[in-house]
A = this chain, B = another copy of it.
Amino acid sequence: MPPLAHELASPQQLETPDTLHTKEWLRRYQRIRQASERLCQPLCTEDYVIQSMDDVSPPKWHLAHVTWFFEAFLLAPFQPHYRPLDPVYDHLFNSYYETHGVPFPRPHRGTLSRPTVADVYRYRAHVDAAMAELLESPPPEHAGEIVRRVELGLHHEQQHQELLLMDIKHILAQNPLCPAYRDDLVSPPEETPGDLAWLEHAAGIREIGHDLQTGFAYDNEGPVHRQFIEAFQLANRPVTNAEFLAFIEDGGYARPELWLSDGWQQVGQAGWQAPLYWVRREDGWYHYTLGGLRPLDPQAPAVHVSFFEADAFARWAGARLPSEAEWEVAARDVSMGGNFVESDHLQPVAATARGSAAAQLFGDVWEWTGSAYRPYPGFRALPGTLGEYNGKFMSGQMVLRGGCCATPSDHIRPTYRNFFPPHARWAFSGFRLAREA
């Protein structure tokens, strides 16, 4: 890994080690690593193996890949006597780091029966033991960089915790047996959010992005920079199922004038007539959830819609999607509480929205913005192979903000930039309307 040598030579990495600090990190490491495994407890062995579409990875692949991340970026460079469990894993579980080696082809992840699920858990234990050793007595000259990478690795694992839930949902939803992931999810509250209200934001220069010196953020959230934002209005809550149904019933999926050209083509090719997982039955609309097939809750935020559907709805409603900067301005002053993975709904739920404050900016549904995923002015990717983490995906995708019901609550920030292609629907993606002031 030649680029690394170069990185390590840079002065900023020669800071004083802090052993207590790394032991703290070890506890955090263990907590987050266990959370991943806890998410998989309801699975049968067979569930771990399936790749239901190219974008989905088998759950055991997720468990192994996040482990590989620590092996490749921590143990291999910083633990000289570390021995990999199997040298082929470095190929199998490299997701997309081309400068690290040739990744195993993504669409074939579902053809791998081996390593088995038990093997993967052994791999996790093997790496966890070596990581514990590393964090208990890190080489002093690398301790700073180790902590930085452990932090990144844990955020990476938390991202995959959400992906695990998205992918498990997609896998089980393909099955005509409609199996539930869990039967014991926390029931949603019975709330009736009032009518949508518009919150005003004045024009002005705003600072956007995360100051990378003040706490963790991904490289793509920085640097802080100024944007002039014209006055705008933002809805006080996301669009609900009831509102989305009205769009459907008004012929929304059959009216080309409401759609972007690419979106209209997608509607035709894929035969979309409703959000993903929606099923119309004689007695009304149902949707597949991680708790099985359930009647649609009209008050809950609409979810599993693509950017194209969000954009078409907004046009139909005489509004638009907010830019990511507008969203961030609105979210700066808001508490980050919400329906996250810890709420154990694993589904967006209705909230009492009062007109005067923005509700549900965090949690419930990732909110599509109208912004294409591109670098901020002055953006620098991480050095070396880790620079492939975010930067190389900055084309063809749209930004989503705020986290969702499958996101760990300590994984989200107002500046967090999630991104998916405009046709993707298997994330817990919804949207909120905006309009000119």
Are the C-beta atoms of A113 and B171 separated by less than 8 Å? yes
Q: Out of B48, B52, B257, which one reaches A111, CB within 8 Å?
A: B52
Question: Which of chain A's residues 167-217 have a Cβ closer than 8 Å to chain B?
Answer: 171-172, 174-177, 179, 203, 205
> Which A residues form the contact surface with B (CB < 8 A)?
44-52, 60, 86, 88, 91-92, 96, 98-99, 104, 108, 110-117, 171-172, 174-177, 179, 203, 205, 225-228, 230, 232, 256-257, 259-264, 307-308, 311, 320, 323, 370-372, 374-375, 377-378, 387-388, 392-396, 398, 422, 436
Are the C-beta atoms of A378 and B174 separated by less than 8 Å? no
Q: Who on chain B is nearest to A118 by CB?
A: B44
Are the C-beta atoms of A257 and B98 separated by less than 8 Å? yes
- Residues in B neighbouring A228, C-beta threshold 8 A: 205, 226-228
Q: Out of B47, B99, B232, B378, which one reaches A113, CB within 8 Å?
A: B47
Q: How far is the CA of A320 from the CA of B96 in the complex (A)?
A: 23
- Residues in B neighbouring A371, C-beta threshold 8 A: 374
Are the C-beta atoms of B49 and A49 separated by less than 8 Å? yes
**Shortest distance in angstroms between A321's beta carbon and chain B's nearest beta carbon?**
10
Tell me if A's interface is mostly helix, strand, loop or mixed. Answer: mixed
Q: How far is the CA of A104 from the CA of B50 in the complex (A)?
A: 17
Are the C-beta atoms of A378 and B307 separated by less than 8 Å? no
Q: List 30 A-B contacts (CB under 8 A).
A: A44-B113, A44-B114, A46-B46, A46-B48, A46-B49, A47-B113, A47-B114, A49-B50, A50-B112, A50-B113, A88-B177, A91-B176, A92-B177, A98-B256, A98-B264, A99-B256, A99-B257, A110-B110, A114-B172, A205-B228, A227-B228, A257-B387, A260-B394, A261-B392, A261-B393, A262-B395, A263-B395, A311-B395, A372-B372, A372-B374
- Residues in B neighbouring A307, C-beta threshold 8 A: 395
Q: How far is the CA of A44 from the CA of B49 in the complex (A)?
A: 12
- Residues in B neighbouring A378, C-beta threshold 8 A: 230, 436
Q: How far is the CA of A48 from the CA of B394 in the complex (A)?
A: 39
- Residues in B neighbouring A46, C-beta threshold 8 A: 45-46, 48-49, 60, 113-114, 116-117
- Residues in B neighbouring A50, C-beta threshold 8 A: 49, 110-113
Q: Out of B99, B113, B176, B394, which one reaches A175, CB within 8 Å?
A: B113
- Residues in B neighbouring A230, C-beta threshold 8 A: 225-226, 377-378
Q: Out of B115, B172, B393, which one reaches A260, CB within 8 Å?
A: B393
Q: Who on chain B is nearest to A385 by CB?
A: B257
Q: How far is the CA of A308 from the CA of B261 in the complex (A)?
A: 22
**Shortest distance in angstroms between A370's beta carbon and chain B's nearest beta carbon?**
6
- Residues in B neighbouring A398, C-beta threshold 8 A: 395
